């Protein structure tokens, strides 16, 4: 049950927080839809998120199952590797944010717009991973706080 919780709960929590931010954005009221998806605006990204949420959530679940949970087990077994694993996740996230930003960037808008798109994409990813790892830590708090020698002594007793 705990393993299933580690797969479903972190992406579900992150998607729920993003949904709240999109649904109840206090500064803007926008009625958009499919035509806004390709226009490189925040509203286009929000409409994309609304339309493709099931597919994005399925992708998040597969990523959680195949990549993040094995990394999290390594973090729990060897806490000294935390910074190496987090820097790996940050590097991959930054590279993918740069690639996606470049793909959706329009050359006529200038390099400054590319940088703004990149920062936005990287910020969204950083918030997602912060929520994800925070939820994993919350689920495994007892295992993470207990030193490995003490865990072995508890299991023997």
Per-residue pLDDT of the chain (157 residues; tens, 9 = 90+): 888 999 999 999 999 988 887 777 655 555 555 555 555 566 666 677 777 888 989 999 999 999 899 988 888 887 777 788 888 888 998 999 999 888 888 788 888 988 988 998 898 889 999 999 999 989 988 776 655 555 555 555 5
What span, in angstroms and rounded, lies between the C-alpha atoms of 70 and 7? Answer: 11
pLDDT digits (tens, 9 = 90+) for 94-125: 999 999 888 888 788 888 988 988 998 898 88
Instruction: Give the CA count within 13 Å in the CB-facing half-sphere of 103.
Output: 7
Closest C-alpha among 54, 34, 55, 58 to residue 46: 34
- To 10 degrees, the CA torsion angle through 141, 142, 144, 148? 180
Rounded to whole angstroms, the maximal C-alpha distance in the chain is 68
32 Cβ neighbours under 8 A, 6+ residues apart: 43, 44, 46, 47
What span, in angstroms and rounded, lies between the C-alpha atoms of 13 and 18? Answer: 9
The predicted model scores a pTM of 0.75
Q: Provide the 3-class DSSP secondary structure of residue 146.
A: coil
pLDDT at 74: 84
pLDDT digits (tens, 9 = 90+) for 17-31: 888 877 776 555 555
């Amino acid at each position: 049950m705990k393993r299933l919780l580690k797969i479903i709960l972190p992406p579900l929590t992150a998607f729920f927080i993003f949904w709240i931010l999109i649904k109840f954005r206090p500064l803007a009221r926008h009625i958009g839809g499919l035509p806004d998806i390709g226009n490189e605006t925040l509203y286009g990204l929000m409409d994309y998120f609304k339309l493709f949420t099931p597919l994005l959530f399925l992708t998040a679940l597969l990523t959680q199952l195949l990549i993040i949970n094995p990394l999290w087990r390594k973090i729990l077994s060897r806490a000294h590797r935390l910074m190496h694993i987090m820097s790996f996740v940050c590097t991959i996230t930054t590279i993918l944010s740069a690639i996606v930003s470049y793909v959706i960037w329009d050359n006529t808008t200038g390099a400054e717009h590319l940088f703004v798109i990149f920062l936005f994409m990287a910020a969204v990813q950083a918030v997602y991973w912060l929520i994800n790892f925070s939820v994993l830590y919350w689920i495994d708090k007892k295992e993470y706080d207990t030193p490995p020698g003490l865990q072995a002594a508890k299991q023997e007793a």
